């Protein structure tokens, strides 16, 4: 078996007496299509925060390419190829769509700290941002401010920003939440069209999306991994159906 | 707006527009038309430079500070003390020293206080300034204490142009030239990728972390550059007036520059120009007309701005222009 792209060993996090991550052993290979599901409050977002360095674990380790990144700051992990989207939009609301994506691309290309050259002269940054905006079919909104856009369009900007970082591992925290069904196909296509080189970990409640997209599924309950396997195995797992899936798959 | 139009706008936004020559033409026109008001004009120019330095941190980087006069004062006292005790009265190198001292102070204090944000940050910037003010008050042997240092003399500018204590002709042109240099610096910075990333930090620092930007390092750097620029403004103040006292370090000055920037419109470069001019003109005319109650007029103006022009005078103008364009 090849080395894992991402691995966690005995990852724990508690806030006082509240254990939100309990000894999580998790593994993700390069190019994986992995879904993380579970009821609300299961600790899925906390897990993503531990992976990205927003939170420091109480104990346990996070390994990227076999190297320990447990103590590495968030920005440094981004440089090593971990990008994420947020469950609730975290965008530059007063800036245009183009400016939003340019900021991410400029950071990835190492231009973000350049003090003398006008940002407008970085044709490479602008071209790459424009490509991503086209990809997510945001072209007509490129010059509009985020706070003038409908929420669903904003979700697509989240993805464009994450892709602008050219990650090896992309963490999508409920990407479809808040997108009207008429527009969700753009999102699905965008996620489906991600290069196979990018490993994707998706947190999602939309089981249609999860079972269409994922090749592996991990179920979390109360801060611990409850079950893991292929979509077929998870769908057949009676316990999982009882705690989480309910009747969702019977339809 | 289509993608290509947006990209075109983004790619050309940093270019100088023809109208941007106007403030400087106006500055020269004042020199020729109002030779008796150049002392006031010099104060306006110095205040614009100070407000511009604040715009870089407040308007662009979103760092709310109540203590920016700390750096203005540091520059003012650096120039004053060098002239009074070291016999270092050459103006340009004096400004360089002011920039250096204020910049290092900004770097050191920014390193500490920018770990916090919101109200805590506001209080800590205020504390920094008050500490400095008390140091200037107590170190009387060096700073002149409460009385400050009056009667400072400076060598002629570039070895040729004497400072003119009566009509401020040299001071005015000197301040105008330094302001132009400072403005060009800030303009280049805010249109650079660094400047754009400061705007990103202002809009959403959480997201800025998540795209891999060294957020605090950028903030500290912007804070130090801004401090150095405020120090230059302070140094100019001492050189132009020939004195320095505790008023350069007080809360009055720190709050005043904040009000000026809000009045003019922050995050717009030219807000500092409009704000400083309007504020000082109001102060100047009102204090002559109503010596006892002039602050009332200033207060009412601020109430009006807070109610009807949240983005300052320039923000109001931009809003009106947009509305007319939409019609």
pLDDT of residue B60: 95
A171 touches chain B (CB under 8 A): no
Residue B10 lies in a domain: no
CATH of the domain at B166: 1.10.3470
Please give the ipTM for the structure prediction: 0.87
How do residues B48-69 score in pLDDT, each as one tens digit? Answer: 999 999 999 999 999 999 999 9
Residue B47 lies in a domain: yes
Residue B260 lies in a domain: yes
Supply φ then ψ for residue A40, to 5 degrees: -55, 140
Residue numbers of the domain that contains B168: 27-326
Inter-chain touch B189–A107, beta carbons under 8 Å: no
Contacts of A96 in chain B (CB under 8 A): 6, 10
Residue B41 lies in a domain: yes
Which residue stretches of chain B are H helix? 3-12, 22-33, 38-54, 69-85, 91-113, 118-138, 140-143, 169-191, 193-203, 205-210, 215-241, 251-264, 271-289, 294-308, 312-326
How do residues B263-284 score in pLDDT, each as one tens digit? Answer: 999 999 999 999 999 999 988 8
A248 touches chain B (CB under 8 A): no
Supply φ then ψ for residue B278, to 5 degrees: -65, -45
Contacts of A135 in chain B (CB under 8 A): none
The mean pLDDT value of chain B amounts to 92
Residue linked to tokens 């003019």: B264
Contacts of A120 in chain B (CB under 8 A): 10-15, 191
Inter-chain touch B10–A52, beta carbons under 8 Å: no
Inter-chain touch B192–A92, beta carbons under 8 Å: no
The count of domains in chain B is 1
Residue B18 lies in a domain: no
Residue B211 lies in a domain: yes
Distance from CA of A173 to the nearest CA of B (A): 13
d(CA B171, CA B108): 31
Residue B17 lies in a domain: no
Residue B152 lies in a domain: yes
* Percentage above 70 pLDDT, chain B: 99
When pLDDT is cut at 50, 70 and 90, the band that residue B325 belongs to is: confident
**H/E segment holding residue A35:** strand A33-37
Q: Which residues contact B106 (CB under 8 A, 6 or more apart)?
A: B71, B223, B224, B225, B226, B227, B228, B230
Residues with pLDDT less than 70, chain A: 1-2, 245-251
The minimal CB distance from B218 to the residues A74, A113, A130 is found for A113
Inter-chain touch B11–A111, beta carbons under 8 Å: no
The 8 Å CB, 24+ separation contacts for A180-189 are A180/A150, A180/A152, A183/A152, A183/A153, A183/A156, A186/A136, A186/A137, A186/A156, A187/A155, A187/A156, A187/A159, A188/A212, A188/A213
Inter-chain touch B209–A133, beta carbons under 8 Å: no
Distance from CA of A39 to the nearest CA of B (A): 26
Contacts of B7 in chain A (CB under 8 A): 98, 126, 130, 142
**Closest residue on chain A to B215 (Cα):** A75
A52 touches chain B (CB under 8 A): yes
Q: What pTM was estimated for this model as a whole?
A: 0.90
């Amino acid at each position: 078996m090849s080395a894992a792209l991402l691995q966690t060993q005995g990852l724990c996090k508690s806030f006082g007496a509240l254990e939100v991550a309990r000894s999580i052993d998790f593994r993700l290979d390069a190019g994986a299509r992995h879904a993380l599901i579970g009821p609300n409050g299961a600790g899925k977002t906390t897990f993503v925060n531990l992976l990205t360095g927003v939170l420091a674990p109480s104990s346990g380790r996070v390994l990227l390419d076999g190297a320990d990144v447990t103590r590495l700051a968030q920005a440094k992990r981004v440089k090593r190829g971990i990008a994420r989207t947020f469950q609730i939009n975290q965008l530059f609301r007063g800036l245009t769509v183009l400016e939003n994506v340019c900021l991410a691309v400029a950071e990835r290309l190492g231009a973000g700290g350049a003090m003398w050259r006008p940002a407008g002269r970085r044709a490479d940054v602008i071209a790459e941002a424009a490509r991503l905006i086209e990809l997510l079919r945001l072209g007509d909104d490129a010059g509009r401010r985020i706070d003038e856009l409908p929420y669903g369009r904003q979700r697509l900007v989240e993805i464009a920003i994450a892709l602008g970082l050219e990650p090896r591992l992309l963490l999508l925290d409920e990407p479809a939440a808040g997108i009207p069904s008429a527009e969700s196909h753009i999102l699905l296509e965008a996620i489906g069209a991600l290069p196979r080189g990018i490993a994707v970990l998706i947190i999602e409640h939309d089981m249609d999306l999860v079972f269409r997209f994922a090749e592996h599924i991990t179920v979390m309950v109360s801060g611990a991994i409850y079950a893991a396997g292929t979509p077929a195995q998870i769908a057949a797992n009676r316990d999982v159906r009882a705690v989480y899936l309910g009747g969702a798959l019977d339809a | 707006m289509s993608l290509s139009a947006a990209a075109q706008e983004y790619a050309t936004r940093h270019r100088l527009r023809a109208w941007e020559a106007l403030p400087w033409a106006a500055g020269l026109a004042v020199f020729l038309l109002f030779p008796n008001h150049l002392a006031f004009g010099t104060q306006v120019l110095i205040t614009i430079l100070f407000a511009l330095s604040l715009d870089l941190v407040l308007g662009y980087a979103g760092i709310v500070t109540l203590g920016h006069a700390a750096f203005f004062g540091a520059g003012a006292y650096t120039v004053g003390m060098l002239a009074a005790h070291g016999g270092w009265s050459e103006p340009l190198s004096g400004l360089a020293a002011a920039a250096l001292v204020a910049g290092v102070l900004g770097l050191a204090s920014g390193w500490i206080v920018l770990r916090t944000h919101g109200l805590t940050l506001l209080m800590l910037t205020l504390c920094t300034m008050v500490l400095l003010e008390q140091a200037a008050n107590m170190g009387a042997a060096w700073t002149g204490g409460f009385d400050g240092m009056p009667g400072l003399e400076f060598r002629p500018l570039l070895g040729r142009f004497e400072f003119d204590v009566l009509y401020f002709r040299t001071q005015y042109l000197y301040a105008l030239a330094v302001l132009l240099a400072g403005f060009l610096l800030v303009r280049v910075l805010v249109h650079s990728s660094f400047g754009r990333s400061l705007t990103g930090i202002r809009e959403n620092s959480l997201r800025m972390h998540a795209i891999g930007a060294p957020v605090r390092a950028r903030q500290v750097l912007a804070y130090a550059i801004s401090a150095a620029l405020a120090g230059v403004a302070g140094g100019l103040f001492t050189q132009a007036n020939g004195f320095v006292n505790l008023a350069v370090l007080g809360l009055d000055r720190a709050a005043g520059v904040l009000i000026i920037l809000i009045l003019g419109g922050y995050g717009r470069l030219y807000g500092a120009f409009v704000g400083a001019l309007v504020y000082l003109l109001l102060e100047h005319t009102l204090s002559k007309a109503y010596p006892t109650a002039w602050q009332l007029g200033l207060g009412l103006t601020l109430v009006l701005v807070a109610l009807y022009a949240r983005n300052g005078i320039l923000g109001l103008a931009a809003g009106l222009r947009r509305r007319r364009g939409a019609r």
